[in-house]
Each structure stands twice: as C-alpha cells, then as structure tokens.
Structure 1
Amino acid sequence: MSVLKVIELLSSSNSGWEDATQKAITKASKSVKNIRSVYVKDQSAAVSDGKIMEYRVTLKVTFELE
C-alpha cells in the first residue's frame, strides 16, 4: 500500500507560469523524493507600468512516502 503526502509550494519566474512551475519542481526534487504529480492551484502576476514583471504559481505537489 502506498502512502502519499501533499505539500504546497510557491514559486515565481520572469518568463512565465510554466517556468515558475518547473523551477519549483526542480528545486523540490533535490530534497523531496518520489514526486508523483503537481497541481497548479493558483496563478497570478505582478504588474508594473502596464507590464507583467513576475509570474507566480501556487502548487500542490504529491509524493510517495518511503
């Protein structure tokens, strides 16, 4: 029987939401093993002078406990 745990992560990028998501998973995978899935819970952006300056994501990451 597998036991899974879900954690919430926040990440940002100047390039886009996909990049912010990838950065979070890349960083998390250095200390969290057995990542099974990621759910993008929320997306937002910081705006300045009518331009998007930073893309932000809130993620739910599921991983299997050993």
Structure 2
Amino acid sequence: MAILKVIEVLANSEKSWEDATRKAVSQASKSVKNIRSVYVNEQSASVEDGDVKEFRVNVKITFEIK
C-alpha cells in the first residue's frame, strides 16, 4: 500500500499557465521526491496596461512517502 501526501504550491510565469505549472513541479522536485501527479487548482493572471503580464497557478502536488 502506498502512502501519498499532497502539498499546495503557488507559481508564476510570464509565458503561460502551463509554464507556471512546470515551474511549480520543477521547484518542488528539488526538495520533494517521488512526485506522482499535479492538479491545477486555480489559475489567475495579472494585467498591466491592458496586457497580461504574469500567469499564476495554485497547484496541488501529490507524492509518495516511502
């Protein structure tokens, strides 16, 4: 039986929500091992002068505890 844990991570990107999600997983994987999945819980963006400047995601990362 596997024991899984979930953490919540916030990340941002100037490119896209997908890039922000990749950054969240990449950064989390530096200290968390055995990542199994990522769930995008929320997406938002900051706007400046009528243009999107930053994409933001709130993700839940699931990993196995060994």
TM-score by length of 2: 0.98
Q: Which amino acid aligns with 2:6?
A: V
Equivalenced residue count is 66
Partner of 1:31: 31
Consecutive unaligned residues of structure 1, counting only runs of 5 or more, are none
Residues 2-60 of structure 1 show CA distances to partners (whole Å, capped at 9, x for unaligned) of 10000000000000100000011011111100000000000000001100000000000
Q: 2 CA distance for matches of 1:26 and 1:6?
A: 16
Q: 2 CA distance for matches of 1:39 and 1:23?
A: 14
Q: Which amino acid aligns with 1:31?
A: S
Q: What is the CA RMSD across the aligned residues, in angstroms?
A: 0.4
Q: 4+ residue runs of structure 1 moved beyond 2 angstroms? A: none
Alignment of 1:12-51 (within 5 A): 12-51=12-51
1:60 lines up with 2:57 in the alignment: no
Consecutive unaligned residues of structure 2, counting only runs of 5 or more, are none
